[in-house]
A and B are shown apart, each in its own frame.
Chain A
Amino acid sequence: MEPVKHHTGLVYPLNRSNIDTDQIIPKQFLKRIERQGFGQFLFYNWRYDNEGNPKQNFSLNDPAYEGASILVAGENFGCGSSREHAPWALQDFGFKVIIAPSFADIFYNNCVKNGILPVQLPEEQTSELVKKAESGNYNLSADLKNQVVYDDTGFEASFEIVNYLKEMLLNGWDEIAVTLTHQDKIDAFEQAQEKTTSI
């Protein structure tokens, strides 16, 4: 995983709550066995009509948001299915930071494991960001080390992130390699368990 430290980019606002992973990437695109190439299917049913033509009324199709890398959405973002294809699609499309008032647990973890920074901010602040971004051409910066997002017009908000996940993002850890350093403990656990329970 690529380390994540600091990112500045164009903000795309998607002001809906409870955006589920079925919307982020519909099931017909979960059949591929690779990790790459899912960006073209991001929000597919919102972006394209039944003939595959871009829908004019969906804002991600607006050229003003081309190249956006920060997504601001409503509460409970990423709920539903555990499919990691959702962060893969967001990342492949170009999103590096996702800001929302709240996230679904599995999705939040899946983001971190893929080097996407999930930023949880109070609703007043996400609403403010949505407003700014809706007028277009709005850039924001996220600084993971100091746990703040800010723009150049004076907006600044700090966010919480569990230390372990922060370190993982900052260092781009291979988590399995870290865990394997504890292999002796896993061995010992299994031996003890076999003695005491009947699994």
Chain B
Amino acid sequence: MPKGVTHMATPKTIIDKIWEQHVVHQEENKPDLLYIDLQLVHEVTSPQAFEGLRMKGRSVRRPDRTFATMDHNVPTVARHIINDPVSKKQMETLQKNCEEFNVPLADIDHPDQGIVHVIGPELGLTQPGKTIVCGDSHTSTHGAFGALAFGIGTSEVEHVLATQTLWQARPKSMNVKVNGQLNPAVTAKDLILAIIAKFGVKFGTGYVVEYTGEAIRNLTMEERMTVCNMSIEAGARAGLISPDATTFDYLKGRRHVPEGEAFEKAVDYWSSLASDEGAAYDATVEIAADEVEPQVTWGTNPSMCIPVSGHVPAPEDGHSAADKEEIERALEYMGLEANQPISSVTVDHVFIGSCTNSRLSDLRRAAKVVEGKKVHPSVKAMVVPGSQTVKKAAEAEGLDKTFTDAGFEWREAGCSMCLAMNDDIVPPGERCASTSNRNFEGRQGNEARTHLVAPEMAAAAAVEGRFVDVRSYLTAPV
């Protein structure tokens, strides 16, 4: 402990503070019973939970702390033509469940509709210090505000609906410290991809991760959301950032955020949540921000990622027999040659969207790259705003026009090609530069090949038809 503070209480992390403020009940040999302040709900992981309540004659304890939307399955063109009867039924079921259990719903026609992790923050439902869950692994996004937010399964969704609590073992804490500053035109997406590439897809398993350091402090809220969003791709159920002035500025004036004096009081409380100087973590990893270059994934999980100046690895680069086999299988699935420069890889599709990168600033940065240019003739490119609110704001600035003039399609809000549950599918064998968060086999369509990148890298790939370093591209067009 540093000199002079020995009289103070033990320094705590934000994770400790939020946890301790939410324990309802503790008992030996059991996890803690943790209070959940907010549950977000979508159509895919909730029907069986509501059905479970119905079967047992249970109700939703706090409909006012529950909020639902439709995002995964919604069409992004011709909003009301849902060809698949099973999809249609799933959406109707959410509508019916929300009516029956009095849960507020932003349905397909609602001006607030959008990807659940985009609209929570947008509406000010997401706030520092809250415990937030959703039947969705990217719930970690909300951690950007200094909330403890994590994904849960459908049985747990039902549990929270019925009790507003969850039995949770206290997680271990990890400090992911990002030292120094990011270079110009290197984005939050590149940073989180580089972190996962460096430490692997399971370094966060069993931990709640707090991102700290100068580079993190300098990020905007939307960039922080991009970082926290992908915590689960490192195995961490939750990733968060201590709140600061950037957080409070973003929240001020949003619909569900307190106003006036109550806002000032809230800021005092929120400020008290930040991790204390000298707080102990169960683990710490560090990365230098200025090492990070624009990234492109080459394989079938997000850690299979290289700088845009790099080469695809060869099976020999694997550290173990299992590694070698994994690289070999990924190369085969992705249709890539060992040691091939990633800049020689051509793309057929470009998808700008998803809860990782579909906010206004993402679209602005991508639009800047494509402004006055044309999408390469062999590329099909689309932009899917994260919410109707983002869409409207982008249209007010004319971003839609920039994109459509360049040859992009401009769509309605939803998850779309991030998981291809609706009709936005990458056909077998085709290759997509995508701003989403998962490059798993088949994620964007059976046998589809996904390369994860930042929005500006996706935009440049759309114009060039292959991966290029957007930095040289921005200063001296190829």
Q: Which residues of A contact B (CB under 8 A)?
A: 16-18, 20, 22-23, 26-28, 30-35, 45, 50, 74-76, 79-84, 87, 102, 104-106, 109-110, 113-114, 162-164, 174-176, 179-180, 182-183, 185-186, 189-190, 193, 197-199
List, sorted by A's number, 15 A–B pairs whose CB atoms are closer than 8 Å.
Answer: A23-B441, A30-B44, A30-B421, A81-B137, A82-B151, A84-B45, A84-B154, A106-B237, A109-B153, A162-B31, A175-B167, A176-B56, A176-B162, A182-B24, A199-B130
Let me know if A20 and B440 touch, CB within 8 A: yes
Let me know if B137 and A106 touch, CB within 8 A: yes
Cβ distance B238 to chain A, nearest Cβ, rounded Å: 10
Q: A109-B153, A175-B159 given as contacts; is B33 within 8 A of A22 (CB)?
A: no
Cβ distance A141 to chain B, nearest Cβ, rounded Å: 26
Let me know if A180 and B162 touch, CB within 8 A: yes
Let me know if A45 and B421 touch, CB within 8 A: no
Mark B421-444 against chain A: 1 for CB-CB distance below 8 A, else 0.
100000010000000001011110
Please provide the chain B residues from 115 to 146 with a CB less than 8 Å away from any CB of chain A in the complex: 127, 129-130, 135-137
Judged by DSSP, the binding face of B is loop
CB-CB nearest 3 A-B residue pairs: A33-B47, A110-B153, A113-B155
Cβ distance B196 to chain A, nearest Cβ, rounded Å: 12
Distance, CA A75 to CA B269, complexed state (A): 41
Q: A18-B326, A176-B159, A198-B269 given as contacts; is B152 within 8 A of A104 (CB)?
A: no
Cβ distance A191 to chain B, nearest Cβ, rounded Å: 12
Within 8 Å of chain A (Cβ to Cβ): is B280?
A: no
Let me know if A80 and B137 touch, CB within 8 A: yes
Cβ distance A165 to chain B, nearest Cβ, rounded Å: 9
Q: A79-B202, A106-B137 given as contacts; is B419 within 8 A of A27 (CB)?
A: yes
The chain B residue with its CB closest to the CB of A46 is B441
Of B85-93, B364-372, B466-474, the one touching chain A: B85-93
Within 8 Å of chain A (Cβ to Cβ): is B169?
A: yes
Let me know if A33 and B93 touch, CB within 8 A: yes
The listed residue (B37, B47, B154, B237) touching A199 by CB distance below 8 A is B37
Chain B residue contacts of A16, Cβ below 8 A? 326, 329
Distance, CA A7 to CA B156, complexed state (A): 26
Let me know if A106 and B421 touch, CB within 8 A: no
Chain A residue contacts of B29, Cβ below 8 A? 163-164
Let me know if B446 and A197 touch, CB within 8 A: no
Distance, CA A186 to CA B269, complexed state (A): 22
Cβ distance B186 to chain A, nearest Cβ, rounded Å: 26
Let me know if B155 and A76 touch, CB within 8 A: no
The chain B residue with its CB closest to the CB of A188 is B24
Let me know if B202 and A102 touch, CB within 8 A: yes
Q: A23-B442, A113-B155 given as contacts; is B201 within 8 A of A18 (CB)?
A: yes
Let me know if B155 and A102 touch, CB within 8 A: no
Chain A residue contacts of B73, Cβ below 8 A? 31
The listed residue (B163, B237, B326, B428) touching A180 by CB distance below 8 A is B163
Within 8 Å of chain A (Cβ to Cβ): is B464?
A: no
The listed residue (A34, A175, A185) touching B24 by CB distance below 8 A is A185
Let me know if A17 and B235 touch, CB within 8 A: no
Let me know if A75 and B151 touch, CB within 8 A: no
Distance, CA A102 to CA B203, complexed state (A): 12
The chain A residue with its CB closest to the CB of B207 is A105
Cβ distance A177 to chain B, nearest Cβ, rounded Å: 8
Let me know if A74 and B322 touch, CB within 8 A: yes
Q: A35-B48, A84-B154 given as contacts; is B237 within 8 A of A179 (CB)?
A: no
The chain A residue with its CB closest to the CB of B53 is A176
Chain A residue contacts of B45, Cβ below 8 A? 82-84
Chain A residue contacts of B169, Cβ below 8 A? 162, 164
Let me know if A45 and B154 touch, CB within 8 A: no
Chain B residue contacts of A84, Cβ below 8 A? 45, 48, 135, 153-155
The chain B residue with its CB closest to the CB of A197 is B269
Chain B residue contacts of A106, Cβ below 8 A? 137, 151-153, 237
Name the residue among A82, A109, A176 with the largest chain B CB count within 10 angstroms.
A82
Let me know if A105 and B206 touch, CB within 8 A: yes
Name the residue among A80, A102, A182, A190 with the largest chain B CB count within 10 angstroms.
A80
The listed residue (B137, B159, B440) touching A82 by CB distance below 8 A is B137
Chain B residue contacts of A45, Cβ below 8 A? 441-442, 446-447
Within 8 Å of chain A (Cβ to Cβ): is B275?
A: no
Distance, CA A51 to CA B33, complexed state (A): 48
Other A-B contacts than A26-B442, A163-B30, A176-B163, 20 sampled, CB-CB below 8 A, are: A22-B438, A30-B44, A45-B442, A79-B201, A81-B136, A84-B155, A102-B202, A104-B235, A109-B156, A113-B156, A163-B29, A164-B31, A174-B56, A176-B159, A179-B165, A185-B25, A186-B35, A186-B163, A186-B165, A198-B262
The listed residue (B153, B158, B205) touching A76 by CB distance below 8 A is B205
Chain B residue contacts of A105, Cβ below 8 A? 205-206, 235, 237
Distance, CA A154 to CA B291, complexed state (A): 52
Chain B residue contacts of A87, Cβ below 8 A? 153
Cβ distance B130 to chain A, nearest Cβ, rounded Å: 7
Please provide the chain B residues from 225 to 255 with a CB less than 8 Å away from any CB of chain A in the complex: 232, 235, 237
Chain B residue contacts of A193, Cβ below 8 A? 35
Distance, CA A26 to CA B206, complexed state (A): 25
Distance, CA A102 to CA B51, complexed state (A): 32
Distance, CA A74 to CA B320, complexed state (A): 13
Within 8 Å of chain A (Cβ to Cβ): is B80?
A: no
